[in-house]
Amino acid sequence: MGLLLDVIEGKEVPYTPTWLMRQAGRYMPEYRAVRSQHSFLDMCYKAEVACEVTMQPIDILDVDAAILFSDILPPLIPMGLDLEYIPGTGPVINNPIRCEKDLERLNFSPDLKFFQYIQDAVSMIRGKLPKEKDLIGFAGAPFTMASYAIEGGGSKSYEHIKTLMYREPKTFHKLMQLITDVTKTYLKMQLDAGAQMVQIFDSWGGVLSREDYLKNAHPYSCEIISWLKKQASKPVIHFVKGAGSWFDAASNSEADVCGVDWTLDLDLAFKACNNSKVLQGNLDPIALFAPQEVIEQKLKLILDQAKGGKGHIFNLGHGIIPKTPVENVKFVVDKVRELSAR
């Protein structure tokens, strides 16, 4: 049992624990060495490779928790979506869902044996990881998953998903419900295989108005969270990037922890959720490019804003980007520990 669980259970901790979104990633030479040997999907599918890169930030940075190495998108594959990672472009869905007729190409009874790889990876990682380090499983939130399934990749304006949502709410709902159902099982498998908690990433929910988020995204995320809380008594972290002025709405769920990005100060976030949640965040990942004295000042501000709150897990407000200096990432992990020591 690690420090994240302690914070979530309201226990005293010696310092604010840290993990970092995309802590296993291209900014690390050790990661790039493994990556050069495998395709991205193979890295997800091969338990020993996923395990190796998951362990790298534990060994190199001594972060307080490991997050399963994987990507949010592979669960779309058994649903019938043709996912491809194109170097330089990113993930592409070659058969995006744009209208009711496109639903015919979806598999509404996906073969869940597809997810054997994630169970194997989680149980191998849990076997290797020191007991005092929590293992975090994860999945994309339905809105974010659907945005890839509908847009066919990344997007600037999210015009296709919003258009479908407005014009064909039934089609949108069918896709969202399929993703929701599959995600429940996918996350439950990770918890059963030994993950201490799971995080639901809503990377793109923040492109919605409060009204549209509450109507079209939140209910599906909440359905997963509530189901998991019934099925497994393990914590759930819910992160909606860009929730900003409607964080009060986004945090209104059975999640134990809410992620916060750097555009919302932690003290305001605690206030917005009536101090009902442990909060996770919220350094701008680009602040990792700053001189260490600037980083330190930012860490002090974040730790200060978290004081008086229900509980705090230190993290970034989004994933580490490729050119980030490793020494600054290590500096953050060490400095948070030092500055927050009780």
* CA dist., res. 1 & res. 8, Å (int): 11
Spatial CB neighbours of 329, under 8 Å, sequence gap ≥ 6: 20, 23, 27, 61, 288, 320
Out of 15, 45, 64, 71, the active site residue is 71
From candidates 98, 210, 229, 330, binder to a second copy by CB under 8 A: 210
CB 4 within 8 A of CB 64: yes
- What is the smallest separation between the CB atom of 166 and a second copy, expressed in angstroms? 3
In the complex with a second copy, the residue whose CB is nearer, 182 or 302, is 302
35 as an active site residue: the answer is: yes
Out of 6, 15, 35, 265, the active site residue is 35
Out of 148, 186, 213, 220, the active site residue is 148
Angle at which helix 326-339 crosses helix 47-61, to 10 degrees, equals 60
In the complex with a second copy, the residue whose CB is nearer, 41 or 301, is 301
* CA dist., res. 339 & res. 168, Å (int): 51
Which 264-283 residues touch a second copy, going by CB under 8 A?
A: 264-265, 268
Question: Is 336 an interacting residue with respect to a second copy (CB under 8 A)?
Answer: no
In the complex with a second copy, the residue whose CB is nearer, 134 or 261, is 261
* CA dist., res. 18 & res. 16, Å (int): 7
Indicate the helix (H) or strand (E) that contains 139.
strand 134-140
Cβ-count burial 297-306 (b if 16+ within 10 Å, e if not): ebbeebbebb
32 as an active site residue: the answer is: no
Q: Which residue has the tokens 């201490």?
A: 196
Strand partners, 240: 202
Tokens of 208: 């919605």
- What is the smallest separation between the CB atom of 97 and a second copy, expressed in angstroms? 16
* Interaction mask 281-300, a second copy, x per CB under 8 A: ---xxxx-xxx--x---x--
Question: Is 99 an interacting residue with respect to a second copy (CB under 8 A)?
Answer: no
Picking from 70, 55, 33, 78, the residue whose alpha carbon sits closest to that of residue 133 is: 55
- What is the smallest separation between the CB atom of 302 and a second copy, expressed in angstroms? 10
* CA dist., res. 317 & res. 111, Å (int): 34
Which 238-257 residues touch a second copy, going by CB under 8 A?
A: 242, 244-247
Which 190-209 residues touch a second copy, going by CB under 8 A?
A: 206-209
26 as an active site residue: the answer is: yes
* Backbone region of residue 97 per phi and psi (left: phi > 0; alpha: psi in -120 to 50; beta: other values): beta
In the complex with a second copy, the residue whose CB is nearer, 82 or 304, is 304
Using CB under 8 A, list all residues that contact a second copy: 157-159, 162-163, 166-167, 206-212, 242, 244-247, 262-265, 268, 284-287, 289-291, 294, 298, 301, 321, 323
- Residues labelled as active-site residues: 22, 26, 35, 71, 148
